[in-house]
Amino acid sequence: MKKKIAIIGSGIAGLTLANFLYKDKNHDFMVYEKNESLPLDEGYGIQLSINSIKILNEINFTKIINEQLYHPKGVDIYNIQNKKICDLDLMQFNINDNKYTTLQRSTLIEFLKDDIYTQHIRFGKRIKEVSELKGKVLIKFDDNTNDLVDYVVGADGIFSNTRTFFEKKINKPVFKNAIAIRTILRSKSGLEIDQSKVSLMMGNNCHLVIYPINKKKELNFVCILRHKKKDTDIKILLDKVVKQNPNLEKAFEEDLKSWPLYATPKILPSTNSKVLYIGDAFNGFLPTLAQGAGQSIESAYELFNLIKNERGDIQNIYFQERSKRAKIVRRRSNLNFFIFHLSSKFMQMIRNFSMKFLIKRKGFINSYLGRVYKN
Ligand SMILES: Cc1cc2nc3c(=O)[nH]c(=O)nc-3n(C[C@H](O)[C@H](O)[C@H](O)COP(=O)(O)OP(=O)(O)OC[C@H]3O[C@@H](n4cnc5c(N)ncnc54)[C@H](O)[C@@H]3O)c2cc1C
C-alpha cells in the first residue's frame, strides 16, 4: 500500500531520499525545510567517492554539465612545507561512469532539487509537536499546518531537532576541539601542487586539503586545525599555520570562513518504529575521510530500498546495516584526524615513512579505502 513519508530537512540526505522516492512513484512524500530557500550560492567544494557516485548515477547524475565537475586522478600528500611524501592513485577505484568526483556543494544541491522543487519541498517549516494517531504520526508545524504520515525521516543534520521530539536519550554532538577554515582559491596561490589532484598537506596540529571543483580550475581550500576554543579570531588561527609555512599567507588572503567541528559520540537507534534518521542526523563524522555527504547519500539509498521493498522490520534492518557502515567510516575518520595532526617530529617521521610504505600496498589500500569506496 502507498505510504506517506515526511522528510525533515533538505540537505544532501533529505534531497537524495526525495529523488529516489520521486523516481519510484510508489509513495507520497514531502520534504519540510526550516529555511526559506536552498543554499544555491554556496561555493565550497565537496568530494564524492564512488560509493556515493554509483548511487547518484541511478538518478541521472551524469546529466550534470561536465564543466561543473572534476575527476581528480589522485591525492598528493605533502608535509606543511610543501615537500611531497607520497601519492595515492584514485583512479584505481573508478569503474566506468562511477568516478571519484569533486564539485561545488551548490552544484550537487541544484541537481538534487531539479525534479522535486515545486511539488515536494515546503520551506519555513519547523516541527512544533508530534503525536501518534491511528497508527500514524501526526506532525504539527509551527505555522499551524500539519501532516499525518506513515514514516518520519529525520534528515535535519548533526543537531537534529527531530530527535528531540522522538528520543529520550540525548546524543549531543561533541565539539572535537577543531576548527575548519574554508575558501575558494582562483589560482594555486604560489603553492607547488598539481591542480588536477587532491593535495593534502600535514602540519603540526593542522592539515590542509586543496582540490579542483570544476574545469575552471577553481580550487576548494580547507584548513583544519586542532584548537580548543570555538570562537577564536580566524587571524590568530591562521598565524599558527603561516608560522609553519609563510608561503601559505597568499592563500589566506582570500575570503575565509570558519566552522567548529562536531561529531556525534554514539550511534543510537531510533526508539520509534515509524521514525528513521539519515545523513548527519543518523551520525555526524569528522570530515577527515571526506565521507559525510557520501554517507548521507548511502543512508538515504539504503532506507529507500527498505521502504520500496516493504521489508517488515525496517527499523531494525536499517539500523543494523547503517551502524555497521558508520562504524567503519567513523574509525577511519578518527584515525585520519589523529595522524594528519601529529606534532612530534619523531612521530611525523614514522608516519611519513609508514604512509609511503602502505600507500603502494594494494591489500592495505583495499581494506582501508576500498572497503569504504566500493561498499
Ligand atoms: C569542513 C567540512 C568539509 C566537508 N567535506 C566533505 C567532503 O568533501 N565530502 C563529504 O562527503 N562530506 C564532507 N563534509 C560533510 C558533509 O558536508 C555533511 O556530512 C553532509 O552535508 C550532511 O548532510 P545532511 O543532509 O545529513 O545534513 P545537512 O547538510 O546539515 O542538512 C540538514 C538540512 O536540514 C535543515 N534543518 C535543520 N534543522 C531543521 C529543522 N528543525 N526543521 C527542518 N529542517 C531543518 C537544514 O537547514 C538543512 O537544510 C564536510 C563537512 C565539513 C564541516
Beta carbons of 157 and 7 less than 8 angstroms apart: no
- The alpha carbon of 123 and the centre of ligand 1 are apart by a number of angstroms equal to 17
Instruction: List the grid coordinates of 206.
Output: 593542522
- The alpha carbon of 284 and the centre of ligand 1 are apart by a number of angstroms equal to 9
Looking at ligand 1, which atom is closest to the CA of residue 293?
11
Quick one: average pLDDT of 285-290?
97
Please check the confidence at residue 375 and state whether its pLDDT lies above 80.
no
Please enumerate in sequence order all residues whose Cβ is within 8 A of that of 347, keeping only pairs 6 or more positions apart, or say none.
Answer: none
Q: What are the beta bridge partners of residue 226?
A: 178
Single-letter code of the amino acid located at 335: L
Query: Which pLDDT value is given to residue 352?
Result: 98
Task: Give SS3 for 320.
Answer: helix
- pLDDT tens sequence across 53-66: 999 999 999 999 98
Q: Do the strands 28-32 and 121-122 form a parallel or antiparallel pair, or are they unpaired? A: parallel
- The alpha carbon of 281 and the centre of ligand 1 are apart by a number of angstroms equal to 9
Place 308 in a pLDDT band, splitting at 50, 70 and 90.
Answer: very high
Place 43 in a pLDDT band, splitting at 50, 70 and 90.
Answer: confident
Instruction: List the grid coordinates of 298.
Output: 548511502
Residues with CB under 6 A from ligand 1: 8-14, 32-35, 46-47, 126, 155-157, 161, 180, 222, 259, 279-281, 287, 290-294, 296
- pLDDT tens sequence across 209-227: 999 999 998 999 999 999 9
Query: Which pLDDT value is given to residue 186?
Result: 84
- pLDDT tens sequence across 237-246: 999 999 999 9
Please check the confidence at residue 284 and state whether its pLDDT lies above 70.
yes
Please enumerate in sequence order all residues whose Cβ is within 8 A of that of 362, keeping only pairs 6 or more positions apart, or say none.
Answer: none
- Return the beta strands (E) in 232-327 as ranges: 257-263, 275-277
Residue nearest to atom 6 of ligand 1 (CA): 290
Please enumerate in sequence order all residues whose Cβ is within 8 A of that of 7, keeping only pairs 6 or more positions apart, or say none.
Answer: 14, 17, 18, 29, 30, 31, 32, 153, 155
Ligand 1 mutation target, pool 36, 38, 46, most atoms within 8 A of CB:
46
Is 172 exposed, middle or buried, given 0-12, 13-18 or 19+ CB atoms closer than 10 A?
A: exposed
Question: Measuring CA to CA, how many Å separate 153 from each of 39, 105, 178, 272, 340?
Answer: 21, 22, 30, 11, 35
Query: Which pLDDT value is given to residue 353?
Result: 98
Residue 281's closest CA among 156, 370, 173? 156
- Cell 574545469 belongs to residue: 215
Looking at ligand 1, which atom is closest to the CA of residue 13?
25
- The alpha carbon of 268 and the centre of ligand 1 are apart by a number of angstroms equal to 19
Place 312 in a pLDDT band, splitting at 50, 70 and 90.
Answer: confident
Residue nearest to atom 9 of ligand 1 (CA): 290
Q: Do the strands 275-277 and 151-154 form a parallel or antiparallel pair, or are they unpaired? A: parallel
Looking at ligand 1, which atom is closest to the CA of residue 32?
43
Please check the confidence at residue 189 and state whether its pLDDT lies above 90.
no
Looking at ligand 1, which atom is closest to the CA of residue 160?
38
Q: Which residue has the higher pLDDT, 231 or 329?
A: 329
